[in-house]
Amino acid sequence: MRGREDTRRYAVVVGSANMDLVATTERVPAAGETVTGIDFRTFPGGKGANQAVGVAKLGGRCFLIGKVGQDAFGDSLLASISGAGVEVDRVGRVKDASTGIAVILVESGGENRIVVVRGANERVLPSDVDAAADMISSAAALLVQLEVPLSAVSRAVQIAHEAGVKVILDPGPAPAEPLPDSLLEMVDVITPNQLEASVLTGLTRVESQSDAERAGRRLLEKGVGTAVVKLGADGAVVVSRTREPVAIPGHRVKAVDTTAAGDTFAAALTVGIMEGLDDVEACVFANAAAAISVQRPGAQASIPTRSEVDAFLSRHPSRL
């Protein structure tokens, strides 16, 4: 993948850091039922941390703004995230809250169910963002999600937007209600999955390519620059103001664990944008990275390196 050079060579991620407690089972239990699991592991996770690690593994410099507890999980997360090349000076330690955790049930076919306990992630405040305003204003891109308070996310987006920094919003987990247009108007690229697109637009369902196009147009009406509506194994649809909608075909691979596939997609998309690719080219790169990630267990551990994605694309070129 070749992009144009950007003089601002780093991304800032504002978001969560969790320890993922992952149990694999043939199927998830019904209400009141107990099933026997196949395997249990712990993995560093959290959408913000995953995406920051993704940017670093895919070749970009990245700073993470977030918080963890003063506990063993916090120690482990910081060691893992910094070990992947992410700069963590802006990740604070909280005395009176635990590090966030995610309890994840993964079915043998790769689909997952996730319960998040936010812990220290709830303590990410607009003041923390203001303290890093100069860093955000000088970045090539800001990447945010919704696992930390919306007030902090909104402040980060505002700072970036006013400085002309590209803003990428991964609107997960799905918000309880649509996001305010005042926030969406400052977003350059939004990357909802099917459920998130439904919640954000009010559409009953988003399943097909035509549904995704309709959802994308509604998001553009709310002020977003470009909407990338993800359709899981069926790829994604890019809806922008400068061209007709473009469907990015999915890659047919054997899914082991879909945890962090969306985070991998967002990170790779951000790297592509940082390097000057247009939205469609960046999505082709992101789609390939996500396809690799679902073939591996875990969150950050599943995110591929840049060389792996480049090799995958050489074997599976874009079918646009």
The catalytic site residues sit at: 263
In the chain, the amino acid numbered 214 is: R
Tokens of 97: 């809250």
Tokens of 214: 């309709």
CB 288, CB 320: distance < 8 Å: no
162-198 as b/e: b if 16+ CB within 10 A: eeebbbbbbbbbbeeeebeeebbebbbbbbbbbebbb
* Peptide bond before residue 173 is cis, with ω within 30 degrees of 0: yes
CB 53, CB 300: distance < 8 Å: yes
C-alpha dist (Å) from residue 129 to 48, 90, 144, 153, 180? 14, 9, 12, 8, 20
